[in-house]
Amino acid sequence: MNKIGFFRSIHFKFALIFVLLIVLAMQIIGVYFVRELEKSLVDNFNSSINRQISLLTFSLSEELAKKRPAEDGDTKTQDLSRVVSSYAKGDIQEVQVIDPNDDMKVIATSNSASDNIINKKTTDVRLKNAAINYGSQNSDFSAKPEVLFDPNTQNRVRVSTAPIRDKNNGSLAGIVYVEASMESVFAQMRNINGILAAGTGIALIFTAGVGILLARTITRPLSDMRKQALELAKGNFGRKVRIYGNDEIGQLALNFNHLTEELEEAHAQTDGERKKLASVIANMTDGVIATNRKGEIILVNDPAASLLNVSRETALSMKITTLLDIEEEVQFDDLIESQEPLLLDFSSDEKPLILRVNFSVIVKEHGGFIEGLIAIIYDVTEQEKIDEERREFVANVSHELRTPLTTMRSYLDALAEGAWEDKEIAPQFLNVTQTETERMIRLVNDLLNLSKMDSRDYRIKPDWINFTVFFNKIIDRFEMTKSQNVTFKRDIPAEDLYVDIDTDKITQVLDNIISNALKYSPEGGKLTFKVKVFREEILISIQDEGVGIPKDSVKKIFDRFYRVDKARTRKLGGTGLGLAIAKEMIEAHSGEIWAESKERRGTTIFFTLPYNPDQEDDWE
C-alpha cells in the first residue's frame, strides 16, 4: 500500500480546517471592524472640521462687523487673512473668504502663495451654488461636504463651504471655503489595517500550531488503527491499537481491538477448515476440478491432473470444456444448466481409460448468484470393463444354452411327429439329443465352478503331493484313452517335487489344457510335457503342434466364452470356459498361467505353482 503524504493526510486536513476557520473569522471581524472604525474616524474628522468651521465663521463675522473706513480695504483683507491663517493648520490646508455681495470676489485666503487671487472673481461652481443656497435660506448649517481626490498629492481632500452671517440682520455677509486633508484618517486606517494583518498572521501561526497539536490528538489513534488494518491484511493479529482515552475514538480503538480478536479466531477457524479441505481434496482418489463463473479452471487436484494427463500449471490456464475436450459438443452454460454426468473415453493404444464426470454448481449463499462449477472425475474403466464383460457373459451364456436347446427341440419335435417309429433315424436323433444334453450339463457345471470361484467363500483344499508322480498319472490316463494318432513326449525331472496343491483343482486344470491340446492336434502330431524347477516355483508347460492361435487372440483365450474358431470349438463340444476356469484355479494357488503360440506351428500353455524345497525336506 502506498504511503500517504503529509499534504494528503488527515493530520494536515485537520490543521488546515482550523487555519481556514481562523482566517474566515478574522476576515469577518476585520471587515466589520475596519468598516465601523473608518466610519467612526470619518465622523470624528467631520465633527472636528465642522467645529473649527463654526469657530471660523464666528470669528470672520466679528471681523466683518467691525467699522472701517470705506477706503481701508487692505486693512480688512489683512485682518480676514490673519483670522483664516490662524485656522489653516493641522488637517485644514486652505481657507478662503468670498464676498457674495461683491460679485463673488475672494477677499481673504490662508495660502500666501495664492495672494494673487484676492479681489478676483471666483469661478468655482460650488461657491456660486452655495451663495444661491445660503442667500435663499436663513440657516447657519453648512452645505454637505464633498471628498475629492487630489491628483497632485494623491490624497483625499474634504471640500466644504459655510455661510458668514451678518451679526445685525443675519444676512449673508460672506462665504467661507475650507479644504481639509483626510490623509491622516486614512493613514490611521492603514496603520490599523497593518496592525490587524499582523495580529491575524500571529494568530494564524499560533492557531496552526494549536491545530496541528489538536489534530495529532485525533489522528494519532486513527493512524494507529490504519497501521493495525495493514497488519491485519498481512495476517498479523498480535498487534493491538493503543487506547488514548475513553472518548468516541477510544471506544472505536477498543472495538477495533475486539474486532481483531474476532478476526483472529475466525481466521484460525477458516484456515483450519481450508487446510482440512485442501487435505481432503489432495488425498481424494477421485479428481476434483473447480472453475469460476466464466468456466476458467481455478483449482485442480493431483488425481485429476493425473487422470487427464496434464500438469496443474497447464490446467489452470485452460477452460474446463477445453481440458475435457468437449468444447465442440458442449458449452459451459450447458454444463451449468443440465448438470448431467458425462462419460468420456480417454483410451489410448497403451491402456484403456473411461472417465465419468459429475458436475455441481457453486451458488452464492445470498442472492443465488452462480459463482462457478465443481467437476468430480471418476475412473470407471474397470467398472465399464466389468459391465461389458457381464453383458458379454450373459449374451454368451444365453447363446450357448439356446444353441443346444434349439437343436434338442428340433429333434424332439421330429420324434414327436413320428420319427421315433423310424428305426434308423430315431436312434440318431436320440443320440444328438443326448449329446446336446451332456453339453449343457458340462456348461452348467463349468458355470457353477466359475460361480464358486467368484464367491468370497471359495476355498481350496491343499495337500502335499509329489507333483512328478501326480503329473505322470494324468498324462498316462490321457495316453491310454486317446483316440488320435498323437505322440506324447515327457520332459519331467525324475526327482520328487513336493508341492502344496488342491489335487482336484489342478487335475481339472490339466484335464482342460490337455483336452484342448488333443482336440487341436493333427493326426501324427506330438504333445510335449515339461516341468522346470526354479528356486520358488515350478513351471509346467504343455505344447501341441496344432493350428496355433493368432497373435491378437493369445491374451484373450483365458477370457470366459472366448473362442478363436467358434464353429470348430462348438463342433468339438467346447464351452469356452475351460481355460477361464484353469486361470481362476491357478491364481487361487498363487500361480500364473499364460500362452505362447504361432499360427500353424502349435500352442504352448504355461503355468506356475509355488515350490519350496526347504519345506519339502521338512515334510520328508
What would the pLDDT profile of 515-560 be if each residue is shown by its tens digit? 888 888 888 889 999 999 998 899 999 999 888 888 877 877 887 7
Most confident range (mean pLDDT) of 158-162, 399-403, 439-443 is: 158-162
Break the chain into its structural domains and give their ranges. 11-189, 289-300+312-374, 385-454, 463-619
The rounded mean pLDDT for the chain is: 79
Rounded to whole angstroms, the Cα distance separating 83 from 75 reads 12
DSSP state of 456: T
The three three-digit cell numbers of residue 543, written as one number? 505344447
Rounded to whole angstroms, the Cα distance separating 365 from 51 reads 93
Q: Which residues are CB-contacts of 582 (< 8 A; sequence separation ≥ 6)?
A: 508, 509, 512, 513, 558, 593, 607
Alpha-helical runs (H) found in 241-291: 248-283
Rounded to whole angstroms, the Cα distance separating 275 from 344 reads 31
Rounded to whole angstroms, the Cα distance separating 132 from 135 reads 5
Does CATH number 1.10.390.10 belong to domain 463-619? Answer: no
| 263 residue type, one letter | L
Q: Taken in order 504, 507, 512, 515, is the CA torsion positive or negative?
A: negative
Quick one: what percent of the chain has pLDDT higher than 70?
86
Return the higher-pLDDT residue of 266 and 5. Answer: 266
* H-run or E-run covering 17: helix 10-65
CATH architecture of 11-189: 2-Layer Sandwich (3.30)
Record the pTM. 0.43
pLDDT at position 328 is: 83
- Summarised one tens digit per residue, pLDDT across range 106-139 is 888 877 666 677 778 877 777 777 777 776 654 5
Inter-CA distances, 516 with 153, 435, 437, 573, 574, Å: 145, 19, 21, 11, 9
φ/ψ of residue 357, rounded to 5: -115, 120
Return the higher-pLDDT residue of 530 and 152. Answer: 530
- Summarised one tens digit per residue, pLDDT across range 239-277 is 777 777 777 777 887 887 888 888 888 888 888 887 887
DSSP lists the bridge partners of residue 499 as 465
| 611 residue type, one letter | Y
441 pLDDT higher than 60: yes
Quick one: what percent of the chain has pLDDT higher than 90?
8
The three three-digit cell numbers of residue 49, written as one number? 472640521
Would strands 487-491 and 526-533 be described as parallel, antiparallel, or unpaired?
parallel
Instruction: Please indicate whether the domains covering 11-189 and 289-300+312-374 agree at the CATH topology level.
Output: yes
Return the higher-pLDDT residue of 465 and 370. Answer: 465
pLDDT at position 140 is: 47
Does CATH number 1.10.287.130 belong to domain 385-454? Answer: yes
**Collapsed DSSP state (helix, strand, coil) of residue 372:** strand
* Average pLDDT value for residue range 300-328: 85
Q: Are 176 and 164 in contact (CB under 8 A)?
A: yes
Q: Are 97 and 175 in contact (CB under 8 A)?
A: yes
φ/ψ of residue 171, rounded to 5: -75, 170
* Average pLDDT value for residue range 372-388: 83
CATH architecture of 289-300+312-374: 2-Layer Sandwich (3.30)
pLDDT at position 373 is: 87
